[in-house]
Amino acid sequence: MNQYGMLSQLLDVVMALLLAPLLTGWLNQWRALLQNRSAPDLIQPYKVLHKLFFKESVIADHASPLFRMVPYLVFGCMTLASAIIPMLSTDLPLAPAADAIALVGLFAIARTFISLAAMDIGTAFGSLGARREMLIGFLAEPALLTVLFTSSLITRSTSLTSMVTSMSHNSFAIYPSLAFAGIAFVMVSLAENARIPVDNPATHLELTMIHEALILEYSGRHLALMEWAASLKLFAYSCIGLAIFFPWGVSTSASPLALMMALPVLVVKLAIGGALVAVIETLSAKMRIFRVPEFLATAFMLAVMGMLVHFLLGA
């Protein structure tokens, strides 16, 4: 391991923790501007987290220890997932320990425990949200894995650092297989992060909410951790997309100078990606919950088509 490898790994985690709420604020700001509404402050998510961390956590009397433990477990899973994604440099000590398949496993662990916690209290909203969350996960995970497999066939590795290194050093080319995989990845990302058209993070309407139903019983620091974890998940998915489809700008060195040069590139790519997600949400309508399986089945079909195109055309 390079002597600066630990610095690169630490900076990766710190940037994820700091930039994740900022990305959420940036997306919310663009969404409000595109809808001709007064935009909230860019740092509004930080203000919300600060307020929640200093509020008392109210917990039901019959809540099990699982309910109290889940916010820390989900936050830890999202932080670890962000740590194994090459954001600034491919020289990450954790990279050999986990590949893209393990990354999907971390998301699955977080989903399972947050669903169990939602059902733990026994409220109707919690059970409703847990069922919907597991349905979405059951359909989204195969599509996400197929997208990652398509990229791994091109780069001959399931390691995200190897994917970034291989793709960034190749001459610029349009891969038809990655075009199909890219569309599928965007659809999966919208579903997994509770964005329109699958879910609306700004609503508490019982007929439509999914993510909000899962965390409805949390308050105080527990709710802060869950909200922060949701921002980290959005940040992690954004960085996965950048690593697979736009890997240019990620340094192969962990020297301080290389990391300083890679940081503004990452911020610019995240800013463009956040604005594009806001455009997609503005142009889309919230679909009925019974149409979500069709939406994710389409994503899986596109991902499979990308893999077949690679096998048939070798590109």
Q: How far apart are CA 89 and CA 8, in angstroms?
A: 7
Number of structural domains in the chain: 1
Phi-psi region of 21 (alpha: psi -120 to 50; beta: other; left: phi over 0): alpha
Closest CA to 239 of 136, 97, 90, 109: 90
Hey, what are 257's tokens?
């100078």
Closest CA to 143 of 93, 107, 96: 107
Residue type, 201: P
Q: How far apart are CA 144 and CA 217, in angstroms?
A: 29
Residue type, 238: S
- Domain limits for position 41: 5-313
Percentage of residues in the chain with pLDDT exceeding 70?
A: 95
| 153 and 306 Cβ atoms separated by less than 8 Å | no
Q: State the pLDDT confidence band at 204, using cuts at 50, 70 and 90.
A: low
Hey, what are 304's tokens?
């499979």
Phi-psi region of 306 (alpha: psi -120 to 50; beta: other; left: phi over 0): alpha
pLDDT in tens, 11-58: 889 999 999 999 999 999 999 999 888 888 999 999 999 999 999 888
pLDDT in tens, 52-62: 999 988 888 88
Within the chain, what is the greatest distance between any pair of CA atoms?
60
Q: What is the mean pLDDT of the chain?
A: 88
